[in-house]
Every structure is written in C-alpha cells, then in structure tokens.
Structure 1
Amino acid sequence: MALKEFAGTLPDFAKDIRLNVGSLLNEAVLNDQRKYGLLLACAHGTGHKPLVEATEAEVAGKLSPEAANAARAAAAVMAMNNVYYRFTHLASNTEYRNLPAKLRMNVIGAPGIDKVDFELFSLAVSAMNGCGMCIDSHEQVLRKAGVTAEVIQASVRVASVMKAVATIHAAVA
C-alpha cells in the first residue's frame, strides 16, 4: 500500500490530513529527490512502522538508493541529535553547551547526496522533534546555501503532515 492509500485509511475526522497528503504528493516547490526524500525521512522520523512501510512503497523507484539511505540516515541521526541538543538548549545549567557531545554523526558531513538536500531532511525531522537549536542550525545552513523560504516551508509542511498521519493512525489503528 502506497502513501495515498495509507492516508485513505484515516477516519473522517482526519479528512484534512488525507487531503494534505495528496497535496504533498503533488508538491511543485520541491524537486522529486527533495519531495520523496522528505516524505521518507519524516516517515522514519515518526517511528510509526505502518507509515514507514507505506512511504517506503511510495518512494520505491522514485529515489536513488543513495537518496533513500540519506533520508533514513537523517531520521536516525536527528533522533539522537534532537534529544541531545534540545537538552543542552533547555537545561538551565549552560555548562552542558560547552561540553563536547561525544556523539558520532559522520553522516552529516558525508551524507552521500547533495548536502542541501540532507540539510532539508534534517530540518524537517528536527521540526517534528521540536528541537529549536537544530532547527536554527539547519535553517542557517540552508539559507547560506541560497535555499528559499518557500522550499524550507514546504519541507516543514511535509513534516507536519507526516507527523499528523502517524499520530492519527497510531490512535485509531
């Protein structure tokens, strides 16, 4: 079952979410690698296995193996970084911000795809996970690379819809 069919299983109270999934699949602001990579990164970022499976089916043949792996890697490393950096940002004791993280995150430096695309994936997952420090960091890199506000907004729109799909499906499945 692909993503649109999966979204079709959501209850009537989530009609807006179903419609938004269709809009994401027709998104024109993002090129295909960004659109399908964001869908995959965000699906993995939700941790909701049925959504991951539907999204994997959706992107099959639409993403290169490298781009699909980078999307999964962005979700994986942000699952770790968003917790760590959200803690350092929110803790009253600022000493933690000055300590080395001692966390491996080599994929950020060598994601196997265009760095800008990987940063978009990371930004979207960071938005889902609510890490302001990571959101700011990725957004700054993207803006320095010339990425428009519309592209950044579209990536976060993907994150918001995918998170809603996972939340609703988990509650009613």
Structure 2
Amino acid sequence: MTSLKEFADTLPDYAKDLRLNVSSLLNDQILGDNRKYGLLLACAHGTGYRPLVAAVEAEVEGKIDSAYANAARAAAAIMAMNNVYYRFVHLASNPVYGTLPAKLRMNVIGAPGIDKADFELFSLAVSAQNGCGMCIDSHERILTQHNVGSEVIQAAARVAAVLKAVATVHATL
C-alpha cells in the first residue's frame, strides 16, 4: 500500500502546493495523533475517492486504534447523509422543513465509541468538505462547549480542504 505522502507525490507540478500541504498535515503538532489520523481518515472517506481512501487507510494503520478508525469512517458515512438533508433544510425557502423531524437514524452521533469532541471534529471537517453550513455551525457549537479551541477547529478544516483538493486533482490524472 502507498502512504499518503507517496500518494501526494504523484500529483503533478501544478499541484506542488498540495504536496507541501499534505506534508504539513502529516507533521502537524496541534491535533495529536488520534485527532490527526482520525481527521485524515474521515476526510479521505468524505471525498469518496477510493485511491485516496486506500492511501490514508495505509497511512493510519497502526497509528490509531480500531475505535478511532471506525469512528472516523462513521463520521464520513453519517455526514454523507446529514449534510445533504440539513443543507436541504437550510436552503429550502419553505421554513416548515426545519420544524419537521428528520426521521433519519443517527445513533453513532450519540455513541461514537470515542471522545465526543473528537467525533464532532471529524464530523465538522467532513461537513466542511460537503459545504453544509448548518452542520458546520452545529458541530462548531458543540466543539466550543467541549473547550476545543479555534486553532484546532481551523486545523480540521485545513485537513478537509487539502484532502478534497488532493482527491479532485488526482481524479483528473
């Protein structure tokens, strides 16, 4: 399996900044390993781009335990659904949709199997990738309640941005 750095090294010269940003993410000291590798995994899955998912799965192997890896995958899965639904609620002109129950199972949000703040951080990052402002605000509010600082939240958004860009560029090759 290819590591994330090796995968990024296959990007063309016009995407050199993305290669450098991947290196910066891998060397991050703000997040701690569980958050860093969980975010990389959640955001890779959030892109839906299989070659990137495989590279990140190889990268995180042995660096986080199975509970964190599964929670990161779960965050990407549940946000794939929630971001569409709540973006619809937010963008629809008819306010009635905001008053109706979602009727969507989201049990993993209440019991992610890892620290709640970490799961919320993963969910926020995937929500950023998917462009759901309502979800971003909701997750950011919970993170603030858990005393997660703005630098950590920004770092999560950076992971989301870089991995989305890497997937987008690599898919064109």
What TM-score comes out, normalization by structure 1 length? 0.99
User: Taking every aligned residue pair, what percent have the same amino acid on both sides?
Assistant: 74
Alignment match, 1:164: 165
> Is 1:92 paired with 2:93?
yes
CA RMSD of aligned residues (A): 0.3
CA–CA distance in structure 1, aligned partners of residues 49 and 148 of structure 2: 30
Alignment match, 1:70: 71
Code of the aligned partner of 1:86: R
Which sections of structure 1, spanning at least 5 residues, go unmatched? none
CA–CA distance in structure 1, aligned partners of residues 47 and 148 of structure 2: 25
> Is 1:109 paired with 2:99?
no
- Please give the per-residue CA displacement for 1:81-134, whole angstroms capped at 9, x wherever unaligned: 000000000000011111110000000000000000000000000000000000
CA–CA distance in structure 2, aligned partners of residues 117 and 135 of structure 1: 14
Alignment match, 1:146: 147
- After TM superposition, where is structure 1 displaced by more than 4 Å over at least 4 residues in a row? none
Alignment match, 1:129: 130
- Please give the per-residue CA displacement for 1:125-144, whole angstroms capped at 9, x wherever unaligned: 00000000000000000001
CA–CA distance in structure 2, aligned partners of residues 2 and 35 of structure 1: 15
What TM-score comes out, normalization by structure 2 length? 0.99
Alignment match, 1:37: 38
CA–CA distance in structure 1, aligned partners of residues 3 and 165 of structure 2: 17
Which sections of structure 2, spanning at least 5 residues, go unmatched? none
Alignment match, 2:62: 61
Shift of 1:150: 0.3
CA–CA distance in structure 1, aligned partners of residues 36 and 26 of structure 2: 8
Shift of 1:171: 1.1
Shift of 1:160: 0.3
Query: Number of paired residues?
Result: 172
